[in-house]
Chains A and B, each alone.
Chain A
Amino acid sequence: MQEFTRQSILILADNLMILGQRLGEWCGHGPILEQDIALTNIALDLIGEARNYYQYLAETEGKHEDDYPMLRDAREFKNVLLTEQPNGHWGDTIARQFLFDCFHFHLLEHMVASSDQRISAIAKKSVKEAAYHLSFSGDWVIRLGDGTEDSHQKIQRSVNKFWPYWMEMFTPTEAEQHAIQEGILPDLNKVYEAASSKLESVLAEATLIKPEGQHSRKGGKEGFHSEHLGYILAEMQYLQKSYPGASW
């Protein structure tokens, strides 16, 4: 496997792994039992998809699927900064999820046509799940935006808070550019167009204002993270690192 393909797959996998890990923190603490179940469902889908990419890498590199999430350190993780941001309140989690789902669903929709058979197969399998995630988070953005005055203000603030992380998902790294040229990844401009149009229609229905002109924050895809990631990994990798080589 070429290094640019490997880097591109790690970005895909780490995004899902870290966001799934964040969502797992909600399990048992949701505002409504049904929503607790729904969020856990999304966590299961995301980590399940991440696992498929890790397995692909592991088979190619003669490693174990767990080596990637459990043994690498923060600088080697390639997830976008959005995914590692703390859960905050329900509105924060929903806003973060909605921004990610806009990207993720449209990415998969285009990635079904990947020149890499394995990646195309994973995209085909996951795109239906991502469609559900997008409709779930989009519906909640609308419900909160067009709910009470309080929920309207809260979700607007949440969208504003995560807005600086929006563009990183669509801005290709050098490795991704290479993968796009080879047809392994789809054109991120096209993904951006589709994602933006979905985002705008949901925000409009939710009576929310699309934030403009903020500084864009990036670096995660190159391994330059926020301080949050170290704590996520400390928790996630604690057993594997405390008992090196043990099977669980």
Chain B
Amino acid sequence: MTNTLSLEDRFQQRIDNEEKIEAKDWMPDGYRKTLIRQISQHAHSEIVGMLPEGNWITRAPSLKRKLALLAKVQDEAGHGLYLYSAAETLGAGRDELLHQLHTGKAKYSSIFNYPTLTWADIGAVGWLVDGAAIMNQVALCRASYGPYARAMVRICKEESFHQRQGYDILLTMMKGTDAQKKMVQDAVNRWWWPSLMMFGPSDIDSPNSAESMKWKIKRLSNDELRQRFVDMSVPQAEILGVTFPDPELKYNEVTGHYQFGVIDWEEFWRVVNGNGPCNEERLAARVQAHEEGAWVRDAALAYAEKQKQRNSSQVA
């Protein structure tokens, strides 16, 4: 018992000294579990996140936009790969994690349970959803677990590129016809509140936050990150010429921040708990891809096994 305590003390000391924890280092079970949960949720979010945007690849309105969207959704698959690999360093295999996703045990970001209804949604998702994601992810680049922090550095670079692309889609549309402008405002109206919800429950209702902060997995609280996102987005909306659907949104001279209305937490929990507009479709699409791919994975395994035997009999 004394030994375990001192191990934990030493571990915390390393965290406090800003040392990175690596895969083979000793770590408390809770730290490992928290990381696996968080990293796998993030990986699943990348993979499920491919669906609402992938939905528009075949309908993208120009060659330039189609190529950019294909590349973006492909990047998300790549992010999923980095993150599943980071989770593997903690002893959580990809098959096991996918099983948790497919059986509904693991969560993914609720934002992807909203539908992409028009082309402007692809712009709004890039600007707001990727913008909110970056806010979270930049902070994670300094997370105490080395493999996670390093994966986040790569991911952040690509995400900020995606965000600019999304904003550019909207800018182009705002210079266009009235119908296009209307399409943009409608998309922003629908994506604004769900984007604010991406930062998770308010700090007072966030059960895992204190421990994560102590372990420096998390550096900034949900509410701090949300405020930064609002402060960043309001001037961008002004340049774009759109408004956010919040009558209470205004600049507070005293705090130097934009204050905003109350988030509909009922909606937040409804979507988290599986009753958003697209929860069933998203999960069904992932399960279907996995099930229909089973014979392909079996074939690849069988072939690899045959090759191994052929090689070993050649050596013999």
A27 lies within 8 A of B50 (CB): yes
If A27-B54, A33-B80 touch, does A147 touch B180 (CB 8 Å cutoff)?
A: no
Q: Which residues of B contact A31 (CB under 8 A)?
A: 289-290, 292-294, 296-297
Given A24-B66, A37-B77, A239-B58 contact (CB < 8 Å): no
- Interface stretch, picked from B8-16, B168-176, B220-228, B249-257, is B168-176
Separation of A239 and B180 alpha carbons in the complex (Å) = 11
In terms of DSSP, what is the predominant structure of the interface of chain B? helix
- Residue B140 is within 8 A (CB to CB) of chain A in the complex: no
B289 and chain A: residue at smallest CB distance: A29
Q: Is the CB of A142 within 8 A of B303?
A: yes
Known contacts A27-B50, A27-B54, A239-B119; A44/B61 CB under 8 A: no
Among the 9-residue stretches A46-54, A156-164, A168-176, A191-199, the one with 4 or more Cβ atoms under 8 Å from chain B is A46-54
Per-position binary interface string of chain A over residues 228-248, scored 1 when its CB falls under 8 Å from any chain B CB and 0 otherwise: 000000011011100100111
Instruction: In the complex, identify which listed stretch (A64-72, A98-106, A107-115) lies at the interface while the others stay far away.
Output: A64-72
For residue A28, CB closer than 8 A to chain B, the reply is yes
Query: Could you tell me the distance in whole angstroms from the C-beta of B60 to the nearest C-beta in chain A?
Result: 8
B270 at the interface (CB under 8 A from A): no
Query: Does B70 lie within 8 Å of A24, measured CB to CB?
Result: yes
CA–CA, A30 and B81, complex, Å: 14
Interface residues of B in 54-77 (CB under 8 A from A): 54, 57-63, 65-67, 70-71, 73-74, 77
Contact of B177 among A89, A235, A246 (CB under 8 A): A246
Q: How distant is the Cα of A144 from the Cα of B179 in the complex, in angstroms?
A: 49
| Cβ contacts under 8 Å, B263 to chain A | none
Contact A27 B73 (CB under 8 A): yes
Q: Which residues of A contact B117 (CB under 8 A)?
A: none
Query: Could you tell me if A90 and B296 are in contact, using CB atoms closer than 8 angstroms?
Result: yes
- Distance (whole angstroms) from the CB of B304 to the closest CB of chain A: 8
Q: Is A36 an interface residue (CB 8 A)?
A: yes
Which one of A47, A148, A248 contacts B299 once the chains associate, using CB atoms below 8 Å?
A: A148
When chains A and B are docked, how far (Å) is the Cα of A221 from the Cα of B199?
A: 53
Name the residue in B47, B60, B293 with the highest tally of chain A Cβ atoms < 10 Å from its Cβ: B293
Cross-chain contact B295 with A248 (CB below 8 angstroms): no
- Give the size range of B's interface with the partner: 35 or more
B67 touches A48 (CB 8 A): yes
| A248-B296 CB under 8 A given contacts A33-B80, A37-B74, A146-B306 | no
Q: Which residue of B lies closest to A147 (CB)?
A: B299
Interface membership of chain A positions 9-50, coded 1 if the CB is closer than 8 angstroms to chain B and 0 otherwise: 000000000000100110111111111110011011001101
Residue-wise interface mask of B (288-316) relative to A, using a CB-CB cutoff of 8 A (1 in contact, 0 not) = 11101111111111110010000000000
Residue of A nearest to B81 (CB): A33
Is B285 positioned at the interface, with any CB of A under 8 Å from its CB? yes
Check B295–A143 contact: CB distance below 8 A.
no
Collect the chain B residues with CB atoms within 8 Å of residue A65's CB.
63
Assess A240 versus B61: contact at CB under 8 Å? Given A31-B297, A36-B77.
yes
Q: Are A33 and B47 in contact (CB under 8 A)?
A: yes
Neighbour of A40 across the interface among B60, B70, B175, CB < 8 A? B70
Q: A27-B50, A33-B77 are in contact. Are A44 and B300 (CB under 8 A)?
A: no
Does A124 make an interface contact (CB < 8 A)?
no
Residue of A nearest to B301 (CB): A147
Known: A48-B67, A235-B59, A236-B58. A29 touches B74 (CB 8 A): no
Complex A-B: 19 CB contacts under 8 Å = A31-B292, A36-B50, A40-B70, A40-B74, A44-B74, A47-B67, A51-B67, A144-B296, A144-B299, A148-B298, A150-B299, A151-B295, A151-B296, A236-B59, A239-B119, A246-B180, A247-B175, A248-B173, A248-B176
The 7 closest A-B pairs by CB, nearest first: A31-B293, A147-B299, A151-B299, A28-B54, A28-B50, A248-B61, A239-B61
Beyond the given pairs A33-B77, A40-B73, A51-B67, 15 more chain A to chain B contacts, judged by CB atoms under 8 angstroms and listed by A's residue number, are A27-B54, A28-B73, A32-B300, A33-B81, A36-B50, A51-B63, A90-B296, A144-B303, A147-B300, A147-B301, A154-B295, A243-B177, A248-B62, A248-B119, A248-B172
Residues of A within 8 A of B (CB): 21, 24-25, 27-37, 40-41, 43-44, 47-48, 50-51, 54, 65-66, 69-70, 89-91, 142-144, 146-148, 150-151, 154, 235-236, 238-240, 243, 246-248
Residues of B at the A interface (CB closer than 8 Å) are: 47, 50-51, 54, 57-63, 65-67, 70-71, 73-74, 77-78, 80-81, 84, 119, 169, 172-173, 175-177, 179-180, 285, 288-290, 292-303, 306
